[in-house]
Homo-oligomer: A and B are copies of this chain.
Amino acid sequence: MNDESRSRNLVKLVRDLQRRKARERRARVVLEGRRLVADVLEAGARVLGLVVAEDAAAADAVPLLEEAERRHLDVQRLPRAEFDALAGTESPGGVLAVADWAPRDLASLAPPASCLLLVLDGVQDPGNVGTMIRTAHALGACATVALDGTADVRSPKVLRSAMGSHFRHPVAEAAFDAFAAWAARGGFTVLCAASDGAPVADVHRGGRVALVVGSEGHGVRAAWAAHPHRRVAIPMRGDAESLNAAVAAAILAWELLRDVR
């Protein structure tokens, strides 16, 4: 295959990866934005190729393209209008890339005897999902698990908000029943974030802890009632509406990691 047809195939691949099914089947994702692409290259990910807007290729993206050349990566240049039509997020800065990535499964996680696992239970907003993965990674959680009903962890918006953490922190997917059984077998204490929960500072910590955060509107799923768990909350002023879901997850994770740090 010559260079030109290989590049055309790259654009076709990016288009295909806009569908969740294609991302699942191909075990590949689209990374949007210069900083994210540079970070993921540095993390040692297998990057298949870059697509660059012509104006960016002559400006900010030059160092990144030199790096791509050193690595013999396929680079496809597109007029800005075509690039913008291809990119899904709002300000991708004229660069995107395709990389190998797939979520782990539970069996491949090896949680240490003392650890915090962040569990996303139906978190819908891709920005929040990505921010939560980024936070779990930065604070030292052992992994993030996305349960069914959560926004696709492979979506460009999630990858963009997570700022490269997918490539440095274990991110897994699991069905609810499989996760609940796995957590019980592993001796995890399950703590569900809920506004009527016990103040997080009063909750016993230590050992393996799974912190479950739900959707901003509805909280964790009702099915947890059939499994051992405790409900934990962040004490708030009485007249406050609530916290942003990613902010609440961050404060709870920070507080629960106090004894692990």
Which A positions have Cβ atoms within 8 angstroms of B?
39, 43, 131, 134-135, 137-140, 161, 163-165, 168, 234-237, 239-244, 246-247, 250-251, 254-255, 261
State A124–B136 Cα separation when bound (angstroms). 24
| A235-B261, A250-B251, A251-B251 known; A243 vs B135 contact (CB < 8 Å) | yes
A43 to B255 CA separation, bound complex (whole angstroms): 31
Q: Are B243 and A134 in contact (CB under 8 A)?
A: yes
Residues of B within 8 A of A240 (CB): 134, 137-138, 165, 168
10 CB contacts below 8 A, A to B, read: A131-B244, A134-B247, A135-B244, A138-B237, A138-B242, A138-B243, A139-B237, A140-B237, A234-B254, A235-B261
A247-B135 contact in complex given A254-B254, A255-B254, A261-B235, C-beta closer than 8 Å: yes
CA distance A173 to B82 in the complex (A): 42
| A168 to B240 CA separation, bound complex (whole angstroms) | 8
CA distance A234 to B251 in the complex (A): 12
The complex is assembled from copies of this chain, and their number is: 2
Q: How far is the CB of A248 from chain B (nearest CB, A)?
A: 8
Chain B residues in 8 Å Cβ range of A255: 254
Most chain B C-beta atoms within 10 Å of own C-beta, residue among A43, A168, A244, A250: A244
> How many whole Å from A62's CB to the nearest CB in chain B?
20
A134, A165, A243, A255, most chain B CB atoms within 10 A: A243
CA distance A137 to B139 in the complex (A): 24
Q: Does B168 contact A239, Cβ atoms closer than 8 Å?
A: yes
**A236:B165 contact, CB within 8 angstroms:** no
